[in-house]
Each structure stands twice: as C-alpha cells, then as structure tokens.
Amino acid sequence: MTDTITCLWIQSELDEFSTVCIKSWIKLGYHVDLYTYSKRFMNNISISHLHIKDANKILSIPIDDSTNKPFLADEFRFNLFKQNKEGNRDRIIWMDTDVLLLRKIPSTSNYVSSQYTNQTGAFKCKKKVVPNIGVMCFDGSENINYDKILNTKQKAKAYQSRYLKEYEKQVPNDIIMGPEVFCPVHWAWAKNLFNDIDFKPQMKYGILQKQIEDLLPDENVLGVHLWRQIFKKKNYRVNDSSVYKQLINHLEL
C-alpha cells in the first residue's frame, strides 16, 4: 500500500518551493493529497500522483477569504487531525509544502518534527529543542486535545501561530523527532541556504550548522525545511550555486 502525504496550499498556483518539494515526495513513491480552497487550482494541475481535495470539507471558510485568514494552514491541520481522531482514525502524514524530502519517512505513526531553539542572545530558550508543525503523523490514537489547541487565546509572536504554544505543551517528548531529521538547516542560515555555495563555519545562537556534504549522506536526515516564510519576508533571491540548488540537483528534480 502506497503512503499518502497530506498538505494544504492556499493560493491559486503552486510556487517553486511547493512544486519542487511535492515532486521530491512523489519521487520517493508517495501519493499526495493537496487540499485547496481555489476552484481555479483544481482545474490547472498536471503533477502525476497529486490528488486535489476540497479544503472546505475539513474547514469551511467564506469564498475568497482563504488568503486573508491568518494562520489558516495551522487551523486547517488541527481540524484535520481532530476529525480523524473523532472518525476513521486513519494514519495521516501531514507535511508543509516547503519540506524537501531526501529519504523515505518512517512507516510508524505518532511523531512530529522539531527544531533547535536559540541557545544564546536575547531570545535564548531553556529548552534546546521544541516540536514544530512542519511534519506531523498521527493515527487518531494520539493523546492530544485539539479543541484546547484550537480554542487557545494566546497571542502570536513573529513567525508563530497562536496555536503553537498550546501544541508544544501537549506533545509528548517521546514522539518528537530530533531537529536533524527534518530541520537540519537552522533558520539562522536561511539566507546562506539560498545565496551561498556552503554554510559559514561559525556559531549562530549557540548552534553550529552542518555543511551540505555532511547532511546528504546522513541517514538520519530525512528532509530539509526550506523556511519559505523567512525567504519571502526577507525577499531573498536564489543563487544558482546555492546550497538549495545543490539539493535540487542532488535529487534530480
């Protein structure tokens, strides 16, 4: 049986990151269920093994309101898992469309991706690692209260949704994968990822970034989060010799 990766795309057309990442999933043998609110999108897609789904069946919103609703993707994924827990209890693999896959992911259930926190500086964190929502796999048996997450009143911080703190509180430590599995490139090196041929051998926020020649052969590294939100906010450009392009060439996408 072929595993399916589930994702959401809000705009009418896929951007380059999404197209490349989805192709990396399909190349590894996955089917992809892509949920969207765009009727135009549903009629303009040609990637094989990509199945377009109506996002309103998971979380209904007013017509043409999808691009104006903050943290819609986060609200959508928690509703998706809530419905699964209350219903069929299937194994659902959720993946953000800026996660590039290098290797097949585990065939087990109930795990989430994570990332390193700042270990120095003004925003130093006591915890070295925190779970994130880039990759999530649940089968309905998870001990997570989705209503409590969705009804949280916590204020959002930069690059964070208001749901994240409550989510972090509830995720058991034993299902959190190490940061190297899906976030082997720390966000502080996002610019280098797209602009430079390698990462500068220096510490940032108490973390030393591995070079691409160390990441590629590492069997523990399953994917690379591309930090699209930072890329767009900082208006970065992609250099043809960059680490990102080297990853694409390595995967022959």
101 φ/ψ angles, rounded to the nearest 5 degrees: -95, 130
| Closest-CA residue to 129 (of 142, 119, 143) | 119
Q: Is 6 exposed, middle or buried (0-12, 13-18, 19+ CB in 10 A)?
A: buried
The tens digit of pLDDT for each residue in 163-195 reads 999 999 999 999 999 999 999 999 999 999 999
Place of tokens 């720390």: 186
The tens digit of pLDDT for each residue in 192-249 reads 999 999 998 888 888 889 999 999 999 999 999 999 999 999 999 999 999 999 999 9
The tens digit of pLDDT for each residue in 49-69 reads 889 999 999 999 876 666 566
More confident site: 241 or 159: 241
Residue 37: pLDDT band (50, 70, 90) is: confident
Give the number of residues written for the chain.
253
pLDDT at residue number 71: 84
Structural domains of the chain ordered from first start: 4-180 (3.90.550)
The tens digit of pLDDT for each residue in 121-155 reads 777 788 889 999 999 999 999 999 999 999 987 77
Q: With a cut of 60, say whether residue 42 has pLDDT above it.
A: no
pTM score > 0.85 for this model?
A: yes
pLDDT at residue number 8: 95
Q: With a cut of 60, say whether residue 99 has pLDDT above it.
A: yes
Distance separating alpha carbons of residues 130 and 165, to the nearest angstrom: 10
